Amino acid sequence: MGVENVDYHSVAEKDSKDSQPTPAAPKGFGARHVQALILFISITGMFSMRAQLSVTMVAMTSSNISDAIDLCNDVDKENYVNNGSSVDHNKTEDNKTTANELYVGNCTEHQRTILSTWSPYRTYKWNKSTQEMILFSFFVGYTSMTFPMGIIAQKYGGKLPILVALAVNGVVSLLTPWIPIFTGWIGVCVCRLLQGLTQAALFPSIHTILGKWAPICERGRLSTYIYSGSQFGTILIFQVSGVLAGNPTFGWPSIFWLCGCVSLCCFCLVAWLGAASPQDCASISSEELLYIMGDGIADLSSKKRKTPWKQILASTAVWASVVSHIGSAMGYILVLVQTPTYMSKVLNVDIKRNGLYSSLPYLAMYVMTLFFGWLSDMLRAKNIMSIRNIRRTANTIGMVVSGVFLVVFGFVQSTGLAVVMLIISVGLHSGVHVGFHINQIDLAPNYAGPLMGMGNMMANLMSLLVPVMVTNIIQDDTNQRRWQILFIIIAVIQIVSNLLFVIFVKAEVQDWNYYGDDDIDEKHPLKERSTSLFEEKDTSNGKAKNES
């Protein structure tokens, strides 16, 4: 049954436990589950787009041009030299890619012409610093827009920013393989920058939607299920990109095309079935709406709230979450972006196995994310641990214990043992999803989007130090001792940031979550509707007792 004339924005003015009994969860697959599934698929596609370049970059800068050979079927392949020797240093007008960027080999003039026109199947001679600039240009755009996107999501709802992100990322990804032919590495940086700018809306928008859709008693499971799409997408793309990049038929450009098509399909799915709030969902039942309201999630007012920035910035609990977010992001980005390079250069893993080995830790993280979500809700439901201690414990596992295994990963010599250590480290890092990550909704469900935007902006801003650290510490990719120093520094950052979170974390809804309630009209259509539904339920229960 559809819901009409329903108007609300985020969470109730008061905890529903103080006013009305919490209704039982509706049976079956509800509208909230549909929204969770749509968001899961969307975040899977977005993180595939984000993560694929760490593997694709290895193929784009490889000195082996066997992929290019297959493009010239009309020329005797014996004329090619597969040693990756660079083309002469004469730059032509038709080929805007400089000679020191492109590997062509000792090819004939006809073969060079084929590779210098429209074919994206080529490799580029980019040094380490250039590769780092390309890899982290995404995070420059992402960081600069996370805070504004939090405000936009709060004002316009979470659906519209997600649609824009999916559309832009899809189109840009489809065009990227041709960009460096005419603009060099700078054009690739611009493409990744655009993708980062729009993907900045993802987390604040999802937090905003969760603040409206997720009942408190299901918050851990629904949020971890949705955000586990980040690991699922990474798993898929590491596996698929390794196979595609190492296949001479498809090559590295097919990875960009695949991600672009997936993003545009997700755009269609969100536009068709997505809903920013239960108010916008035509298929939600009154029973499920009542269940969502019963946990105090729905804001019954029709007036938009102003974000209380003064109170937010003065909250030690908010800053504890932000600091933990910074430590977590630095560790995660290092592993996400640099692990394929480390395994290739230090452990000598070929590109096909590199994709497989790099995806296994995120498979563990995916499984552990779902486990932590279930466990946190179970511990809360059975009153085994308080929400505050659940957040502390999970965050410590995700930051401290995970950091220790990351350091061990950098010291082992065996490839198999290194992969096991990395699997454990990344798997345990998923504890942060029911630690600081969900704590932002605990503190203020009404302002979950802006809180996520602020935390995500500062976390990614500090994460821009990671490429600087990599460039200055590593220098030589094959030097394991320098990699060990880098892993130790990141582990220490995670431990210190977690300590501050453990000390200052709070789990109860803050008073400023209800900022502006005095100005909100007391007449709420949804409140009247929900009250009548409760009364109807009580009446029917009374009749049933009398008849029995």
How large is the average pLDDT for residues 124-139? 84
Give 484-529 pLDDT, tens digit per residue: 999 999 999 999 999 999 999 998 888 887 766 555 444 333 334 3
How large is the average pLDDT for residues 55-75? 54
How large is the average pLDDT for residues 256-285? 89
522 against 81, higher pLDDT: 522
pLDDT of amino acid 484 = 92
How large is the average pLDDT for residues 157-166? 91
**Other CB atoms within 10 A of residue 249 CB:** 8
> HEC string of 272-341?
HHCCCCHHHCCCCCHHHHHHHHHCCCCCCCCCCCCCCHHHHHCCHHHHHHHHHHHHHHHHHHHHHHHHHH
- Give the largest Cα separation in the chain, rounded: 96
pLDDT of amino acid 413 = 86
Evaluate if residue 539 carries a pLDDT over 70. no
Give the separation between CA 425 and CA 23, rounded to whole angstroms.
Answer: 40
pLDDT of amino acid 390 = 92
Confidence of residue 429 (pLDDT cuts 50, 70, 90): very high
pLDDT of amino acid 13 = 41
The answer to whether 394 touches 377, Cβ cutoff 8 Å, is no
Give 332-362 pLDDT, tens digit per residue: 888 877 887 888 888 887 766 766 776 788 7
How large is the average pLDDT for residues 219-223? 84
Confidence of residue 107 (pLDDT cuts 50, 70, 90): very low
Evaluate if residue 373 carries a pLDDT over 80. yes
Give the three-class secondary structure for 102.
Answer: strand
Pairing outcome for strands 123-124 and 102-103: antiparallel
Give the separation between CA 353 and CA 349, rounded to whole angstroms.
Answer: 6
Give the separation between CA 468 and CA 154, rounded to whole angstroms.
Answer: 33
DSSP 11: S
**Other CB atoms within 10 A of residue 351 CB:** 21
Confidence of residue 363 (pLDDT cuts 50, 70, 90): confident
Residues 6+ apart with CB under 8 A from 367: 427
pLDDT of amino acid 287 = 83
What percentage of residues in the chain have a pLDDT greater than 70? 75
How large is the average pLDDT for residues 103-126? 59
Give the separation between CA 456 and CA 159, rounded to whole angstroms.
Answer: 19
How large is the average pLDDT for residues 41-64? 83
How large is the average pLDDT for residues 148-175? 91
Give 192-218 pLDDT, tens digit per residue: 999 999 999 999 999 888 888 877 778
The single residue listed with the structure tokens 């969100």 is 270
Evaluate if residue 140 carries a pLDDT over 70. yes
**Could you tell me which of 242, 243, 247 has the C-alpha nearest to residue 67?**
247
Confidence of residue 544 (pLDDT cuts 50, 70, 90): very low
pLDDT of amino acid 28 = 77
Evaluate if residue 108 carries a pLDDT over 70. no
- Residue 411, exposed/middle/buried by CB under 10 A (0-12, 13-18, 19+)? middle
What global pTM score does this model have?
0.70
Give 3-25 pLDDT, tens digit per residue: 444 443 444 444 333 434 556 67
Report all structural domains of the chain as residue ranges with CATH numbers, in order of start: 16-21+29-61+126-514 (1.20.1250.20), 62-125 (no CATH)
The answer to whether 171 touches 260, Cβ cutoff 8 Å, is yes
pLDDT of amino acid 516 = 61
Evaluate if residue 117 carries a pLDDT over 80. no
Per-chain mean pLDDT for the chain: 77
pLDDT of amino acid 199 = 93
What backbone phi and psi angles, to 5 degrees, belong to 496? -65, -45
Confidence of residue 299 (pLDDT cuts 50, 70, 90): low
- The residues facing 123 across adjacent strands are 103
How large is the average pLDDT for residues 90-108? 42
